[in-house]
Amino acid sequence: MERPEAEQYLEALGEILEKEADEPVYMLICGGMAGILQDLLHRPTRDIDCAGFVVIEDGVPVLRKPLLAEPLRSAIRRVAAVYSMSHNWLSFQSRMLLDDDLPEGLVERAQAVEYGNKLTLWLISRTDLIFLKFKAAISRERQDVEDLVHIGTTQLEAEAAARWCFEQGATSEEVAGILKRISYGKVARGLV
């Protein structure tokens, strides 16, 4: 899915929720689509990754695990049916991120984008996208390294992401491997 399709699906989802949902839905979007919707990445992705729902507690946005109420679940299925695609076009597999420590301030840095009055996506920031892509690149052979290069990750951003990954339990070898793959091999010697 590319940006125009994603926007079309999200607008359709927003329209359905506008008519049928009692409460607004606030979703935190991570992964490739967060970068695509902010013009940081320019490539297709297979789905839109939702890490959780954003709720406001005491005036502060907080991330919660996604529990899909029926109006949202039904709306997602209906959009999938209209556009002849998998019902997993909006994926909640990234909810596993909530089991780990996320970069501090991730939700506060997210950019809110509205699709009507009942659907708001909170897109993770460039910094958080780099941190999460760096961590993902350690454990899987997907597009994460290419994304880090395409985003134009700076040396300072790579160093910060590496330090955060160390805090998350990454080994020196894992971090050094990613730094080398994104052309910051010399940085690896200073950090590991």
Q: Count CA atoms within 13 Å of residue 139 on its CB side.
A: 8
3-state SS class at 43: coil
pLDDT at 174 over 60: yes
Region 10-35: what's the mean pLDDT?
93
- DSSP-derived secondary structure for 94-149: GGGGGGSPPPTTHHHHPEEEESSSSEEEEEPPHHHHHHHHHHHHHH--SSHHHHHH
**What are 43-54's pLDDT values in tens digits?**
999 999 998 999
What share of the chain in percent tops pLDDT 90? 65
Burial class (CB in 10 A: 0-12, 13-18, 19+), 146: middle
Residues 6 or more apart whose CB falls under 8 angstroms from that of 90 comprise 9, 13, 47, 48, 50, 76
- Residue 36, pLDDT above cutoff 90: yes
End-to-end Cα spacing for the chain = 38
Q: What pLDDT, in 10s, does the model give residues 88-135? A: 999 887 765 655 678 889 999 999 999 999 999 999 999 999 999 999
What average pLDDT does the structure give for the chain? 89
Mean pLDDT of 59-79: 87
pLDDT at 192 over 60: no
Structure confidence at residue 191 (pLDDT): 63
- Reported as a pLDDT band with limits 50, 70 and 90, residue 21 is confident
Instruction: Report, as an integer, the average pLDDT of 177-189.
Output: 79
Q: Which two tokens stand for residue 15?
A: 């329209």
What's the rounded Cα separation, in Å, for the pair 49 and 33?
A: 7
Answer for the pair 95, 52: CB distance below 8 angstroms, yes or no: yes
Scan for tokens 């940081």, then name that residue: 40
Q: pLDDT tens, 128-172? A: 999 999 999 998 867 899 999 999 999 999 999 999 999 989 999
Residue 159, classified by CB atoms within 10 Å of its CB into exposed (0-12), middle (13-18) or buried (19+), is middle
Placement of tokens 């729902």 in the chain: 53
pLDDT of res. 62: 85
The whole-number pLDDT of residue 38 equals: 96
Name residue 90's beta-bridge partners: 48
Q: Phi and psi at residue 51, in whole multiples of 5°?
A: -85, -20
Q: What is the pLDDT of residue 97?
A: 61
CA distance 154 to 162: 12
| pLDDT value for 27 | 94
